[in-house]
Amino acid sequence: MDNEQEVAIKLGIVGNQGAGKTSLILRVAEKKFCGNQNCGVAVDFRSIRDYKLNGKRVNLNIFDIAGLARNSDLALSFIKDASALVLAFSLPEQEYYENQEGQLSEQLEVQIQNWTDKIYDNSSENTPVFIVGCKLDLVKDQKRLIPALDENLQEILKKCKKVNIINNSDKNMIFFPTSALSGNGVDKLFQKWSSEASKIKKSHGSTLKTKSHLKKENQKEQCC
């Protein structure tokens, strides 16, 4: 008989609608790419049972928080519940919005700032965050775009609220390029994502407070 307790790991994925979040999850959950699906549901929940992590079997519970729902209380509560988060953005969109001098547009900065604000205000302290570029297969000039994006993201993140970004140490980069179509980079990301989440899972629970919660408490203390 198997006496092993079932371990469930809560993961959250945020990012603008169309970034590629649902496709990323489906690549691992169903080992396939479902092209041209309409994945615009507000909060999508996906459970991956018996996922192999460090030789053990765990269940991954993933909350896919679509761009449209980013201000809803429900979406924010999923950010709070997750033990580790992915912030996804679309790679080919960056290539598309590049200006003639090859500089990347402000549009990525707005996205990253918006989501790091939400994560900072609503996640538990030190929640690991992975920045993930999706749809790598659609990038025409990867050799040029990827290092440029990496540099750009490092600059952008200096201006954002400080969240616990986990670097892509294998590639010496700040972000993880992936393709749900080819599967490139996806397994490695999920291994690291769930592994980081499992490390902080034990201390995860009602005792952990979000930063906005702590801010409110500090304000109360300072008050009369």
Site for ligand GDP, rule CB under 6 A: 15, 17-23, 35-37, 39, 66, 134-135, 137-138, 179-181
State the DSSP H helix or E strand holding residue 25, giving kind and residue range, or none if neither.
helix 21-29
Beta carbon of residue 216, minimum distance to ligand GDP (angstroms, whole number): 31
**b/e per residue 107-134 (b: at least 16 CB within 10 A):** ebbebbbbbbebbbbbbbeebbbbbbbb
Residue 23 binds Mg ion, judged by CB under 5 A: no
Site for Mg ion in 47-86 (CB under 5 A): 66
Minimum CB separation from Mg ion for residue 70, in Å?
A: 12
By residue count, the chain amounts to: 224
Distance CA 195, CA 83 (A): 10
Q: Which CB atom, from 66 or from 153, has the smaller least distance to ligand GDP? A: 66
Residue 181 interacts with which of ligand GDP, Mg ion, none, CB < 5 to 8 Å by class: ligand GDP
In the complex, the smallest distance separating the C-beta of residue 110 from ligand GDP, rounded to whole angstroms, is: 17
Position among 7, 10, 29, 39 found at the interface with Mg ion (CB under 5 A): 39
Q: Using CA atoms, how far apart are residues 122 and 83, in angstroms rounded to an integer? A: 12
Using CB under 5 A as the binding rule, whether residue 22 contacts Mg ion is answered as: yes
- What is residue 54's three-state secondary structure? coil
